[in-house]
A and B are shown apart, each in its own frame.
Chain A
Amino acid sequence: MSGTLIVAEHLRGRLRDVTRELVTAAQDFPRPVCVAVIAADPGPLAAEADLRGVDEIVSVRTGGDEFENDVYRYALEALLGQRKPDLVLTGFTVNSMGYAPAVAAKLGLGFASDVFAASLEDGSVIARRAFYGSKVHADVELPARGPVILMLRPTVWAPAEPGGGAAQSELSVEAKPSRARHLSFVEGPQTDVDITSAEFLLSIGRGIGDKENIDRFVRLAAKMGATLSVSRPIVDAGWMPSARQVGQSGKTVKPKVYLAFGISGAVQHLAGMKGSGTIIAINTDPEAAIFAVAHYGAVVDLFAVADELEKLP
């Protein structure tokens, strides 16, 4: 039993960034570092996955191009049986959420998700993750017996650089059709607003309380020369279109200024905006997670601040 196995993620023929991040994270764990590429045509993806710090790339040929959870499930089970890694790394992504927990449950493996730091201590993996709305952190200890699966939070580790020279191999897995089959992709609605190109975003979240309050922030954004963006609850409530949503299921933004009203800072939201130049957060909860990434914060009634901003020349 040895080494660290990474399950590569890809979409429409391209390796996803999270795979490069997993390679960086794997450098703290037992070698060899092996990347599994599960695809109909693994060749080009295997070439992309040949990153610095990768010892081996194992290609698993499948029937379909796009992700299907049972296909990944069978492939990971075969890889665990044949390669016997100590540790499996996947991204904490929508695709991996569909199969990695199922494999861990079926085989009774150690498992932790949304992990943002991990280390090895006396042969046991220690993973750090958050609880209670990211207000507290915890170190969790994975069982020493058998392999463990960690799902790592995206955008925490730096992406590995291109390398070259990893050994290439193939593993054939018995072709069993997935009970969940990919039919097609549907793009999100196209609109004329592009929050990803804005220099100044005024962003509103659940804290604005009511649909009736949207208008005043639309006006405030216009007055301040900002583009209005929103967090997920505003889109879920149907108050604003998803084209304005910042976060993992929305857009990743890097404006010069990100001014957040009433956004507590769910992990998925922070992933979408933490690269902003200057982050200013206004929230009545002094423990709101957004203050951990903000450059400036204020614990004050957001409507009072909006009032004052409206009054400014």
Chain B
Amino acid sequence: MKAVVCVKQVAVLGDEVEFRDDERDVDPDYLERALNEWDVVAVEEALRITEAGGGDAGATGADEESEVVVVTVGDQEADEALRRCLAMGAHRAIRVTADGVETADPLTVARLLAAVVAREDPGLVLCGVQSSDAVQAATGVMLAGLLGMACVAVVTKVSYEQAAGRATVHRELEGGLIDVVEVETPAVLTIQTGINEPRYATLRAIKQARLKEIEVVEPDSPAPGAYRVRRMFAPEKGAGAEMLADSAATVAARIAEIVRARLS
């Protein structure tokens, strides 16, 4: 059983923001990097599925061919995200080199992933539902479209039956309603937070992950993307938000006053 997990080293904006001179992105000095929260649970889910022996009845543990391969698209800094996945227990890591993926259109990223995922020929491809910096909720399903694979988006439970070539999954709809779906595999599943509690890597595993080799893939020349950022800007401040004085006691007194007035 081989699972590929597509992950992203996302950019997190702090309290202040400045834009690049061309106004098409935030000045990178104002961004910090982190492994996307949704991708952490996707890696955890892939590890659990392979550790359970691909879900086959009677299997008691990971078979010899069990493998979790993590793939990312990004610059050298994205290796940090891959190393965190390796420390969690992923077996191999691949990075397709690209700059500026934080705001890249999802089709460009999906195309870069597709070539590597096709080569790996996995039974399952897991992606986070979305990345915290771009919130497209599209890359994983685009990958399925490019590869001609079945897919299910926004998954909160996976029961994989490798031998039967299918998985029964829960799809979380608006309002919390669960749609139980049977999907043929290989398939792309986009994984929603809450599906599991991701493990912490041990210090030893983190050290070992530093020594592992990351395969670096140079992409082919890019095809036209799904969009181009024309201008990025700070949103207008909420017209209404009246900021309360910053001593906790005054804030509390004002809150009590407002609540009393509104509920009376």
Contacts and interface: CB of A to CB of B under 8 A. Distances in A.
Given A105-B142, A250-B175, A296-B254, A114 B135 contact: yes
Interface in A245-296: 245, 248-252, 256-257, 259, 267, 277-278, 280-282, 285-287, 291-296
B235 A136 contact: yes
B136 A132 contact: no
A200 B248 CA distance: 21
Contacts of A98: 141, 151-154, 171
Majority secondary structure, B binding face: mixed
Contact of A133 (B13, B111, B232): B13
B50 to A, nearest CB: 22
Interface of A: 11, 66-67, 69-70, 73, 92-95, 97-106, 108-114, 126-127, 129-143, 151, 154, 179-188, 199-200, 224-225, 232-233, 235-238, 242, 245, 248-252, 256-257, 259, 267, 277-278, 280-282, 285-287, 291-301, 304-305, 307-309, 311-312
Given A104-B226, A293-B238, A185 B177 contact: yes
Given A132-B13, A180-B187, A102 B141 contact: yes
A101 B106 contact: yes
Nearest to A127: B227
Contacts of B170: 186
A155 to B, nearest CB: 11
Interface string B94-117: 000000001101110011000000
A250 B248 CA distance: 30
Given A104-B145, A141-B227, A312-B253, A245 B176 contact: yes
Nearest to B264: A256
Interface string B228-248: 111111110110111111111
A294 B142 contact: no
Residue among A70, A98, A101, A135 with the most chain B CB within 10 A?
A101
A99 B142 CA distance: 8
